[in-house]
Amino acid sequence: MSPTRRDFLATGAAAAASLALPEIATASPNCRFLPSVGMTAKGFAGRPVVISSANGFRSKTADGRPAIQLAYDMLTRGADPLDAIVAGVQVVELDPTDHSVGLGGLPNEEGVVQLDASCMHGPTKRAGAVAALEDIPTPAAVAKAVMDRTDHIMLVGPGAKKFALAMGFKEDKSVNAEAHEEWLRWKSHLNPNDNWLDLPAGRARPLPNAPRPTPNSPDIDDADLLHVYYDERGVAHTYGTINMDAVDANGDIASVTTTSGLSWKLSGRIGDSPIIGAGQYCDNEVGAAGSTGRGEANIKVCGAFLAVEFMRQGMSPEQALIKVMERVLAMTEKRLLDSNGRPYFDLNYYAVNKKGEYASASAYEGSRFAVCDAKGARVENCVYLFKGQQPRKTAVDSAYVKPS
């Protein structure tokens, strides 16, 4: 039987406790700032903020806080920014109803879940990553262990798993029942003449061009905050991931990205998430950036690194991400573009600078991302290049549009 949300909350609470991170503050609609190491009595040196992909708002802790709120509460109580966001994304990794990462991640074509993650720590200029990791549902923490305990940056496959077990991570060979059912549904629809009977359609979700609910309204559906869509056969697909970036009151910065990768991928496929400079990048003098979406498109432009470099040149996070999206289009092969030059895929980028300014951008309108600062946890609209989400549309508005 598929794990329930209640089962997940209990598991997530225990796993978070195992991180041996600072005590977590009591949830509050508006976080109260508490002094942390290096802060003066005069107050904060900057503006603490945590940003992430939208699933960082959807997945909740045992006490009901969004994952991004957990990270922010830890940050403002003095936790290291990387410790805070690794704990934040772990809430999502252990959520069995999120099919883009960790425990609930959709498997590869062989029915095996292979997980990727990477992280960077601005103050120490260090990084760690794992790829094609099996049976360990929290790859972000394993990536941080690679950073903390080795002179390497990336471990992959069986070597990554062997390292994780040596570091005390617990093996979990169970495949999430709901994710396994999605794999069977995908397999049954591959060939109409094979011996597999087609399974019923998957869960319904809003059509791509349906009106979007107002952020923070009670009309927001869980599915609207996930990077999972269902095709005309009812088969689930995802490029799903969570990227989370943080800057604390001292201006120290960290970034992390974790994923189960492209659904039904070839065994051993690695996307952008574990690649430093692609899936995420952090420079303590400038800011951090990360990505979710089609990894193959992002790898070719080193999107996270490029965004940070644009911010180094003086661009705002918003301007930097739009420039990165334009570079993606310039580097996209013709088979992936429609007759109007619009891609048959989407990418989402996220960025925050040292001052606490932040933004997220996508190719098509309708995407959202999560934010937590002194105003509390919420979702906001991404800036975008094209109106509409279907590249088959004939009317193209290629102007950069800032959401209202």
> Which residues are the active-site residues?
241
Q: Confirm if 62 and 365 have CB atoms less than 8 A apart.
A: no
Residue 48 makes CB contacts below 8 A (sequence gap 6+) with: 33, 72, 75, 76, 246, 247, 248, 249, 356, 373, 374
The answer to whether 185 and 197 are in contact (CB under 8 A) is: no
Cα separations in angstroms, 64 against 94, 254, 255, 377 = 15, 25, 24, 12
Torsion (CA) 318, 319, 320, 326 in degrees, nearest 10: 110
Under 8 Å between Cβ of 91 and 61: yes
Per DSSP, the three-state class of 337 is: strand
Question: 66 has which bridge partners?
Answer: 60
Sign of the Cα torsion 53, 58, 61, 63 reads positive
* CA atoms of 353 and 251, how far apart (whole Å): 9
Quote the distance between the C-alpha of residue 57 and its chain's center: 11
3-state SS class at 277: coil
For tokens 């195992």, what's the residue?
A: 18
Closest among 49, 33, 52 to 41, alpha carbons compared: 33
